[in-house]
Amino acid sequence: MKRFLDTLRNIWAIEELRQRILMTLALILVYRLGSYVVLPGIDIAALDSARENAGDSGGLVGLINMFAGGAFLRASVFGLGIMPYITASIIIQLLGMAVPYFQKLQRDGESGRKKINQFTRLLTIGVTAVQAPGYIASIKQTAPNAFADTSTMWWVQTILILVTGTMFVMWLGERITDKGLGNGISLIIMIGIISRLPFAFLSEVKSRTSGNGGLIIFLIEIVLLLMVIVGCILLVQGTRRIPVQFAKKIVGNKQYGGVRQYIPLKVNAAGVMPIIFAQAIMFIPAAVAGFSSSTGGIFQDRYGFWYNLIFAVLIILFTYFYTAIMVNPKNLADDMKRNGGFIPGVKPGNKTAEFIDAVMNRITLPGSLFLAGVAIMPSFAEKLGVNSAFADFYGGTSLLILVGVVLDTLQQIETYLLNRHYDGLMKSGRIKGRGANAMMVQQG
């Protein structure tokens, strides 16, 4: 306890860190308050009554609502949350893989990054404008009596408000990144998820303690949840370096080096981004179907077999895609050569790049399979009788994002502490986030 209190005092003593924390909390407070501002012309009491009677707070609608921090079901001005921005970011990154113009922008450094951000913002407006009518239609279908006005002008102004709301949330995320602590967009997603945890927890407690033996089952669920959290921490942090001997073995190279050496490659170099990308893609059919429509097919049944199969496949594909973006074998080989590093038995330059590429292809597969398995775990929990809201925290999108964002934020705090010659947050070793590793062979 004394060490914990000393750490808090050290954090508060660093003026820049203190200001960043306060700025982050203030911007998050603005986001949470905005999520309770209801769209004009909608009777929230009638909407809540209709939602309760319809019982559609679970499934895909529940997941979308969790990402939006409850704003989706409240018909808030932030109802669509940050997901349109995530969708736009995915599209821009895909264009960067296929369109030469965007490839050039990615290579242009800071100026290229600014242009890419501008395209992403413009595309976010377009994505939100497409999703907004479906969102309004879903509210109208669920609670037609909640609308005081359904004229054309009301539709236009409501769509504009939803677009503005999403752009404002995006602006808050960018301000948190620039002036606050951690990655703003990720923090906003995390806050939206964690705001639903107390309600889900209390709902599960109530359902389990109402029957005989329910408390024991609940305690077992908590133990399993803690085990899943530990697994998610290991998955997010990943293996930070791979022995050269092991790397050569998996690519069929039998020439082992005499000195024990490591290549700082991670089994899970993509972190939780493949799940976020895949989930954003899975939201698109729901938007086209009007979100709460019963005709949305397999994309409406979040706990169904086909939904989870497609979700898992997308995660595997995005893991390879994001790893290819994060780890460039050619650049890695060049960095190793410039720093005097080498892999025993492998020629520097192109041969080293080919070797690293082969290793990455082989270690990414088990990492992607494990990531996909954890992502669809809530479906198994729901089938075993866990409340659907609480089941979302058994791995899946929510828990992995929570673990990843918390580790990244704590790592940034620890960096401030160590740079000011204070003790870090952990006694043994440093907190490992999802940051990139120094790309060179290390002596063991």
Among candidate residues 141, 155, 131, the one with its CA nearest the CA of residue 64:
131
pLDDT at 438: 31
**R_g over Cα of the chain:** 24
Domain that holds residue 34: 1-195
Indicate if 170 and 265 belong to the same structural domain. no
Across 21-30, 78-87, 197-206, least confident range: 197-206
Inter-residue contact 218 to 209 (CB < 8 Å): yes
CB 432 within 8 A of CB 411: yes
pLDDT of residue 96: 80
Which pLDDT does position 251 carry in this prediction?
Answer: 65
Q: What is the pLDDT of residue 436?
A: 35
> In this structure, are 229 and 266 located in the same domain?
yes
What is the tally of structural domains in the chain? 2
pLDDT in tens, 117-172: 899 999 999 989 988 888 888 787 777 787 877 788 888 999 999 999 999 999 99
Of 146, 164, 195, which closes a domain?
Answer: 195
**Rounded Cα distance, 46 and 83, in Å:** 26
Same domain? For 13 and 159 the reply is: yes
CB 69 within 8 A of CB 191: yes
* Least confident interval from 12-26, 57-71, 105-119: 57-71
Domain-terminating residue out of 195, 221, 243: 195
Same domain, 9 and 156: yes
**Is residue 27's pLDDT more than 90?**
yes
408 with 272, same domain? Answer: yes
Same domain, 291 and 175: no
Calpha distance 322→395 (Å, rounded): 20
> Do residues 179 and 239 both lie within one domain?
no
Residue 75, domain CATH: 1.10.3370.10
DSSP of 257-297: -SS-EEE---TTTTTTHHHHHHHHHHHHHHHHTTSS-TT-G
* Boundary of a domain, candidates 195, 228, 261: 195
Q: What is the mean pLDDT of residues 317-344?
A: 79
Q: From 296, 315, 297, select the one nearest 141 (Cα to Cα).
A: 296
In a 13 Å sphere around the CA of 72, the CA atoms on its Cβ side amount to 27
Are 219 and 189 within one domain? no
How much is the pLDDT for 169? 92
Q: How confident is the model at residue 435 (pLDDT cuts 50, 70, 90)?
A: very low
- Do 177 and 307 have their domain in common? no
Bridge-partner residues for 147, per DSSP?
Answer: 42
Q: Is the pLDDT of residue 266 over 70?
A: yes
207, 201 contact by CB (below 8 A): no
pLDDT of the residue at 444: 36
What is the pLDDT, as a whole number, of residue 428? Answer: 53
Would you say residue 293 has pLDDT above 70?
no
Q: For residue 405, what are the CA distances in angstroms to 103, 135, 271, 364, 432?
A: 28, 28, 10, 21, 11
Name the band, by pLDDT with cuts 50, 70 and 90, for residue 442: very low
d(CA 170, CA 184): 9
How far from chain centre, in Å, is Cα 264?
A: 24
Q: Is residue 8 domain-shared with residue 69, that is, in the same domain?
A: yes
- The span from the CA of 334 to the CA of 329, in Å, is 9
Q: Once rounded to an integer, what is the mean pLDDT over residues 414-419?
A: 82
- If you average pLDDT over every residue of the chain, what do you get? 77
Same domain, 45 and 167: yes
Q: How far apart are CA 131 and CA 147, in angstroms?
A: 19
Looking at per-residue pLDDT, the higher value among 3 and 58 belongs to 3
Instruction: Give the confidence band of 441 by pLDDT, cuts at 50, 70, 90.
Output: very low
Q: How high is the pLDDT of residue 24?
A: 92
Do residue 334 and residue 380 come from a single domain? yes
Determine the pLDDT at residue 58: 53
pLDDT category of residue 290 using cuts at 50, 70 and 90: low
Q: What is the pLDDT of residues 212-236, one digit of tens each?
A: 656 777 787 788 778 877 777 776 6
